[in-house]
Structure 1
Amino acid sequence: MTVAADSPAKPSRRRGAALEQAIYEAVFAQLKSVGYAELTMEGVAAAAGTGKAALYRRWPGREALVLDALSSTLPRPEQIPLGDDVRENILTVLRCLRDALETTYGAVFQQVKSSTSIGLHTMVRDRVSDPCREMILRSLQRGVAAGTLRPGADGVMTATVGPAMLVHRSLTEGPAVSDDFLVAVVDEVIMPAVRA
């Protein structure tokens, strides 16, 4: 039997990296729409346009799938090169954190707030929260050592202020945090508190 020339072509099945990306995007979309507690492998498969068997061949369950999606998507703050300008360093780290929120459509941090998954909490803490705080802390320590910041300005609490304000803004108003907000956090809150 011949197929008519004007018949629509059958869509090709995605494989490899294209399928993986579609699955990860489906994970974050499902987290946003139904939450971690209601996320299912079947729902992710349907949203990604694939069969659930394709998911189970690689991931034993939803937690492993979500953790893998996070691992492949979240930026690595510790790879940010720090310069001599404390203000710029802090702003760069906050932009990295903002990008992490936007990359996952804010879904991850929304779910960490309510999830009982130890793995999910650990992943976000280890990949994003702790490295961002450590990068800011290191920059504050350099500023204190150079004399551009007041003694004692390099405390852990000070290093936590910017990330805490950013995450709070994202959780209450959505993941699209403007650059103006980040600049205001740095210029109106952090720098006045730490300058020599």
Structure 2
Amino acid sequence: MTPISATDNVAPAPAKRRRGDVLVRAILRAVIEQLETLGYAKLSVEGVAAAAGTGKAALYRRWSGKEELVAAALAEVLPSPAEVPRTGDTRADLIALLACMRDSFSQHGTAFQVVKAEAEAGEALLAGVVQQRVVQPCTEGIRARLAEAATRGELGVAATQPMLANVGPAMLIYHTLTRGIDIADDYLDHIVDDLILPAAR
């Protein structure tokens, strides 16, 4: 007979409950996954909570309901122009900022398309998220890089005109509306080399 060890009758330790940022990331990841697999209409707070391994009370403590939860999840997966590093090379920095904004239009495209197609006021929800998370920081980043270049004497005083920083983001938005979200690198080069920098000089 095999002897019984001291650990044979010990129940396995329960999984540690996720909290704080770890829990928030799990919840927002579950939202994106359910948007892509179930769609907006079938997504529910209860379903997200179950997929994230938590109770729905944990979600309602942070978000008032489904729409706010989805907006937070979409914002979380968007790249942030505010995190684009400063290299001291004005041209390279401007292109990097525009590339970050360009990439935001294509990443997790299915989730964004589902919200736009299925949610009431879906376009307004998306516009608010993209404006706050991407367009505004990108515009501010361009404005700051141009002002720094003017201070260093690399560009003229025209570089400090606030409207000039809107040119790049406006061109990208126009492209997505009229020609789609596939934006080539040379289009970004064209915006910087043929529009922004000549005007700034």
Deviation at 1:25, TM superposition (A): 4.3
Question: RMSD in angstroms over aligned alpha carbons?
Answer: 3.3
Provide Cα deviations, 1:154-188, integer angstroms capped at 9, x if missing partner.
22210010011112112222222111111111112
What does 1:47-62 correspond to in 2, within 5 Å?
51=47, 54=50, 57=56, 58=59, 61-62=65-66
What does 1:129-148 correspond to in 2, within 5 Å?
129-148=135-154
Change (3 A) 1:133 1:20: closer
What does 1:138-177 correspond to in 2, within 5 Å?
138-177=144-183
Amino acid at match of 1:175: I
Q: For residues 187 and 37 of structure 2, what CA distance do their matches in structure 1 show?
A: 25
Q: Does 1:79 align with 2:87?
A: no
Deviation at 1:152, TM superposition (A): 2.5
Contact 1:153 1:194 in 2 (8 A): yes
What does 1:46-125 correspond to in 2, within 5 Å?
51=47, 54=50, 57=56, 58=59, 61-105=65-109, 107=112, 111=116, 115=121, 120-125=126-131
Aligned-pair identity (%): 33
Q: Does 1:189 align with 2:192?
A: no
TM-score w.r.t. length of structure 2 = 0.66
Q: For residues 79 and 53 of structure 1, what CA distance do their matches in structure 2 show?
A: 30
Contact 1:105 1:175 in 2 (8 A): no
Deviation at 1:29, TM superposition (A): 7.8
Provide Cα deviations, 1:44-80, integer angstroms capped at 9, x if missing partner.
46xxxx9577479346643123212213201121111
Amino acid at match of 2:176: S
Deviation at 1:123, TM superposition (A): 3.2
What are the ranges of 5 or more consecutive residues in structure 2 without an aligned counterpart? 1-22
TM-score w.r.t. length of structure 1 = 0.68
